C-alpha cells in the first residue's frame, strides 16, 4: 500500500499535519535535513516544492523562497539527486509539489520514474489539466505507483469534484479560499458553508485543507472539517530565520498542541 493511503487508513481520530517547504531554500543542501527534522518533530507527511520562476498561485513568502532556491541552483535533476537517500532516514509520506512547466522540460515519464526511484509517494501539479492527466498521463502515474493529487476550490462544481474523486487514489486537496498562499484562514459563514458542502458530499477519499493554516487555532478549525491540514507559508517564513533548525520542533508542537 502506498504510504499516503496507509497513513489515512491508520489515522483513526488523529488530525493529520502536512508541512510544505521549497527544495533548495534556505540553502541548496537543506532539503533533506529539513525533511528529517520535520519527521522527528512529528509532521505526518511532507510536501516538497520544486521551485519555478512564475509560481502564480503562491504569495510573496513562497515566491521569494522559489527565487532564492533557483538562485541557489536548485533544479529537478538536483532535487532527485538529493532525494536519492530519502528513504534511508525518512519513513513518512512525501509528495512533490510544483508547476507543470519544469516537469514537461524534465520529461513526464522520466519524472514519474525518478519519483518512484527515490521513494516519492505522490505529486501535486496544480496547473496539470484534469483532462490531460486522464487522457495522456494516468498510465505513467499508475505504472510508477505515484499518486496525483487534485485541488478543489470554493468555485469547483460538484460534477468536477466527483470527477476528481474518480481519478484520485490518495486525498483531495481542498483550498480554503481562491486567494494565493499566505492568506490567513478566516472561517466565515461562507467558508463554513463551503466546507460543509464538501463534507455533505461524503467523498470516498480523505480531504486535506490547505492555504491559510498558520497556527494551532487555524489547524484545529481546518481539521474540524477535514482529515488533515497543510501548513506552508508559516513554515517557509520560519526557514528565513537563522536558527530555523532549532525551532522546528517547537513550531510543530505549537501547531498540533
- Please state, in angstroms and rounded to a whole number, the distance separating the CA atoms of residues 167 and 150: 9
Q: Among this protein's residues, is 47 annotated catalytic?
A: yes
Angle at 169 between CA 95 and CA 144, to 5 degrees: 60
Q: Which of 10, 33, 47, 227 is catalytic?
A: 47
- Please state, in angstroms and rounded to a whole number, the distance separating the CA atoms of residues 64 and 237: 10
Q: Which of 36, 44, 58, 85 is catalytic?
A: 58
What secondary structure does DSSP assign to 171-221, as a single string?
-EEEESSSSPTTPPP---HHHHHHHHHHHHTT-SS-EEEESS--SHHHHHH
Q: By CB neighbour count within 10 A (0-12 exposed, 13-18 middle, 19+ buried), where does 165 fall? A: middle
Half-sphere exposure for 117 (CA within 13 Å, toward CB): 13
Q: Among this protein's residues, is 217 annotated catalytic?
A: no
Q: 96, 128 in Cβ contact below 8 A?
A: no
Catalytic residues, by residue number, are 47, 58
Amino acid at each position: 500500500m502506498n504510504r499516503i493511503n496507509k497513513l489515512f487508513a491508520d489515522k483513526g481520530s488523529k488530525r493529520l499535519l502536512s508541512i510544505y517547504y521549497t527544495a533548495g531554500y534556505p540553502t541548496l543542501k537543506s532539503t533533506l535535513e529539513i525533511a528529517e527534522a520535520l519527521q522527528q518533530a512529528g509532521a505526518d507527511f511532507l510536501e516538497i516544492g520544486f521551485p519555478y520562476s512564475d509560481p502564480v498561485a503562491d504569495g510573496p513568502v513562497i515566491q521569494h523562497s522559489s527565487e532564492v532556491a533557483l538562485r541557489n541552483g536548485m533544479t529537478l535533476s538536483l532535487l532527485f539527486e538529493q532525494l536519492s537517500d530519502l528513504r534511508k532516514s525518512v519513513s513518512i509520506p512525501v509528495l512533490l509539489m510544483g508547476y507543470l512547466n519544469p516537469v514537461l522540460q524534465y520529461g513526464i515519464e522520466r519524472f514519474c520514474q525518478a519519483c518512484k526511484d527515490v521513494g516519492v509517494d505522490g505529486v501535486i501539479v496544480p496547473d496539470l489539466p484534469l483532462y490531460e492527466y486522464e487522457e495522456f498521463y494516468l498510465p505513467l502515474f499508475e505504472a510508477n505507483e505515484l499518486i496525483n493529487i487534485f485541488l478543489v476550490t470554493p468555485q469547483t462544481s460538484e460534477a468536477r469534484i466527483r470527477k476528481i474523486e474518480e481519478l484520485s487514489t490518495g486525498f483531495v486537496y481542498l483550498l480554503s479560499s481562491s486567494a494565493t498562499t499566505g492568506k490567513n484562514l478566516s472561517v466565515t459563514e461562507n467558508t463554513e458553508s463551503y466546507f460543509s458542502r464538501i463534507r455533505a458530499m461524503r467523498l470516498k477519499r480523505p480531504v486535506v485543507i490547505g492555504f491559510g493554516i498558520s497556527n494551532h487555532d487555524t489547524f484545529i478549525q481546518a481539521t474540524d472539517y477535514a482529515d488533515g491540514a497543510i501548513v506552508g507559508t508559516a513554515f517557509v517564513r520560519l526557514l528565513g530565520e537563522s536558527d530555523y533548525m532549532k525551532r522546528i520542533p517547537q513550531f510543530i508542537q505549537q501547531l498540533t498542541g
